[in-house]
């Protein structure tokens, strides 16, 4: 049980606790600088003397609740909105997550990685008469951006991460090939419309699967194959419409059959659905209890979708972690707080976004760095403050090179001024994000309506989320629209044949009008081949709408206090109150 030191009220009016664990962690990750002997030190309430003229500059406790801190970080991440624009170096047409109306320079990948420019070209002196964040904002607009995709082939329409081949409109993916319309997938092949998928092949419309093969319309499954409409199954093959089974074969709606009987039932179901099963019969699906939380090989962990971790609090969607708090979408991380989208062999992070292989860094992001403070998108670097897009750099401030002594003398002075401006200890304000709010992942988890020219009183929480620490409106809103696709015709989704054999090759030259949003979308050749091979109907919804449907199928990131439907003990769950939910012990006895 954590020891609560203080209870604070966030600007959104919700209360949140500051615990001793929080304070101990903040002291652990607070930066240390060496002073020249004899230099006077003031403000002992926030500076810790480590002797030998080394001083630690304490990060203060958070002023915002975990949700608002997460929202602020996510407002800096645009995954799914892609645009055609010109490279500002070569003037070639490129695909970017920066719309052409933004005041930022954008380079194609080859140009950005070249030696023809350097982030040091944008170097500037720190000015004591202006806030640090305003100076960082100016630097943001000067240093070239790029689309954040590394070592990938024929995967221009993807963002965030690396080593992919022949992938299209897929985001947060690594070591994948021939994957389309998917998000957060790793080491997978030929997967379409999948979400949170690891080490799987030939899967379609699946969510939260691991080590699966030829699995369709399924969720929360591990090591399953050649099956349809499974939920919470492990090591099952050749099953249809089954829930909470383990090590089963030839089961149809949780009932065993011979191989011949099973295949005939699947064939008849296929025919009834016009040669393409769109949904399982919900009335026939077994009504089995749900587990309180999806925790797999975890010790002392709270929240959901967790694997092989221990001592993690208020965390969601992660593998192989320890001693973390307020962390979301991460893998192989230790001893870190308040992080979003992070991977691989990292520790001692605080308020980080989209990072990999980082040691002891705060309010920053990107790859293979250490002792980075208030810096964005730096690679193979250490000891930076307020830098953007530097490679193999050290002892830089606002992209300007300093000696070690100069760096350690200037940074404490900047921290002191940031404390006076109430900036020290806060992540970058959303007002300087290079993306507009409705483009970002923040919009998915914390949706807002377009802000009026002057904020009304209205709902206090939404109003609070539209102001920054200094009381100014922060969230920018994009009205930019991509041009409509250049196609021979647009066909309403309702007019699409349900039978894939009736779909002509000409559909590759058409656009389909989404049945929900009326937004046009296209079908590409590898996608059509996949549907034909698996006798699947062409989708009638836009890829964004299909993604939204998958996200809604997952439990939301909200914990509820409830009682076990079997034994009545108190517990917490992410399942809605209208469902039958069992604690871990009762679920193990009743279901497994």
Are 547 and 553 in contact, with CB atoms under 8 Å apart?
no
Residue 475 structure tokens: 């969230």
Q: Which residue ranges of the chain lie beneath pLDDT 70?
A: 35-53, 271-286, 451-473, 592
Q: Is the dihedral of CA 508, 512, 514, 517 positive or negative?
A: positive
Helix count (H) and strand count (E) of the chain? 11, 35
Nearest to 143 by CA among 90, 106, 98: 106
Strands 158-159 and 170-174: parallel
For helices 132-142 and 404-420, angle between their N-to-C axes, nearest 10 degrees? 120
Residue 274 confidence (pLDDT):
53
Residue 456 confidence (pLDDT):
40
Domain positions in the chain are 200-291, 489-553, 560-590
Residue 277 confidence (pLDDT):
47
Are 242 and 248 in contact, with CB atoms under 8 Å apart?
yes
For residues 134 and 285, what is the distance between their CA atoms, to the nearest angstrom? 57
Residue 24 structure tokens: 């101990």
Residue 451 confidence (pLDDT):
58
Please classify residue 552 by burial: count the beta carbons closer than 10 Å to its beta carbon, then call 0-12 exposed, 13-18 middle and 19+ buried.
exposed
Residue 281 confidence (pLDDT):
61
Residue 592 structure tokens: 């497994």
Can you say whether residue 47 is alpha, beta or left, with left for phi > 0 and alpha for psi between -120 and 50 degrees? beta
Residue 399 structure tokens: 């992209």
How does pLDDT run across 34-84, given as a tens digit for each residue? 766 544 555 545 666 565 667 899 999 999 999 999 999 999 999 999 999
Are 240 and 253 in contact, with CB atoms under 8 Å apart?
yes
How does pLDDT run across 262-319, given as a tens digit for each residue? 999 998 887 666 544 456 665 566 677 888 888 878 889 887 888 888 999 988 887 7
Are 402 and 410 in contact, with CB atoms under 8 Å apart?
yes
Nearest to 378 by CA among 352, 403, 404: 352
**In terms of residues, how long is the chain?**
592
For residues 101 and 287, what is the distance between their CA atoms, to the nearest angstrom? 51
For residues 341 and 354, what is the distance between their CA atoms, to the nearest angstrom? 5
Residue 460 confidence (pLDDT):
32
For residues 164 and 474, what is the distance between their CA atoms, to the nearest angstrom? 35
């Amino acid at each position: 049980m954590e020891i609560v030191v203080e209870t604070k009220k966030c600007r959104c009016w919700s209360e949140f606790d500051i615990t001793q664990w929080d304070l101990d962690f903040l002291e652990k990750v607070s930066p240390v600088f060496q002073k020249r002997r004899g230099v006077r030190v003031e403000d002992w309430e926030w500076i810790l003397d480590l002797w030998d003229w080394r001083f630690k500059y304490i990060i203060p406790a958070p002023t915002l609740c975990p949700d608002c801190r997460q929202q602020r970080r996510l407002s800096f991440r645009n995954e799914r909105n892609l645009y055609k624009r010109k490279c500002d170096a070569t003037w070639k047409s490129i695909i970017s997550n920066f719309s052409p109306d933004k005041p930022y320079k954008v380079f194609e990948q080859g140009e950005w990685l070249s030696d023809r420019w350097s982030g040091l070209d944008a170097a500037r002196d720190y000015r004591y008469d202006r806030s640090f964040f305003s100076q960082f904002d100016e630097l943001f607009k000067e240093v070239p951006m790029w689309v954040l995709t590394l070592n990938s082939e024929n995967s221009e329409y993807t963002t965030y991460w690396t080593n992919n081949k022949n992938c299209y409109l897929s985001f947060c993916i690594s070591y994948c090939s021939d994957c389309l319309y998917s998000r957060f997938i790793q080491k997978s092949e030929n997967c379409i419309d999948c979400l949170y998928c690891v080490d799987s092949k030939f899967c379609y419309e699946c969510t939260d699967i691991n080590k699966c093969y030829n699995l369709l319309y399924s969720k929360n499954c591990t090591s399953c194959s050649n099956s349809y409409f499974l939920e919470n199954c492990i090591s099952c093959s050749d099953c249809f419409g089954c829930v909470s089974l383990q090590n089963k074969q030839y089961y149809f709606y949780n009932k065993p059959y011979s191989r011949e009987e099973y295949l005939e039932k699947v064939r008849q179901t296929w025919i009834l659905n016009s040669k393409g099963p769109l949904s399982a019969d919900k009335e026939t699906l077994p009504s089995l209890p749900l587990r309180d939380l999806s925790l797999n090989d975890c010790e002392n962990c709270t929240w959901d979708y967790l694997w092989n971790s221990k001592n993690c609090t208020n965390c969601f969607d992660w593998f192989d972690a320890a001693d973390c708090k307020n962390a979301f979408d991460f893998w192989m991380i230790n001893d870190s707080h308040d992080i979003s989208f992070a991977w691989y062999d990292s520790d001692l992070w605080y308020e980080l976004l989209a990072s990999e292989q980082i040691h002891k860094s705060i309010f920053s992001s990107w790859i293979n760095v250490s002792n980075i403070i208030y810096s964005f998108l730096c690679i193979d670097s250490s000891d930076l403050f307020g830098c953007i897009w530097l490679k193999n750099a050290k002892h830089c401030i606002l992209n300007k090179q300093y000696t070690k002594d100069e760096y350690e003398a200037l940074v404490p002075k900047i921290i002191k001024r940031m404390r006076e401006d109430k900036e020290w200890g806060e992540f970058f304000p959303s007002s300087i994000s290079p993306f507009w709010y409705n483009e970002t992942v923040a919009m998915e988890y914390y949706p807002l309506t377009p802000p009026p020219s002057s904020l009304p009183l209205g709902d206090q929480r939404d109003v609070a989320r539209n102001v920054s620490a200094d009381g100014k409106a922060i969230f920018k809103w994009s009205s930019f629209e991509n041009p409509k696709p250049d196609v021979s015709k647009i066909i309403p989704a309702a007019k699409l044949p349900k039978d894939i054999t009736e779909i002509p090759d000409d559909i590759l030259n058409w656009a389909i009008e989404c049945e929900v949003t009326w937004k046009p979308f296209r079908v590409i050749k590898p996608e059509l081949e996949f549907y034909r091979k698996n006798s699947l109907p062409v989708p009638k919804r836009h890829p964004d709408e299909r993604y939204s449907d998958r996200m809604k199928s997952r439990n939301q990131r909200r914990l509820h206090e409830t009682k076990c439907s079997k034994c009545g003990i108190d517990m917490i769950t992410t399942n809605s109150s209208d469902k039958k939910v069992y604690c871990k012990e009762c679920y193990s006895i009743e279901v497994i």
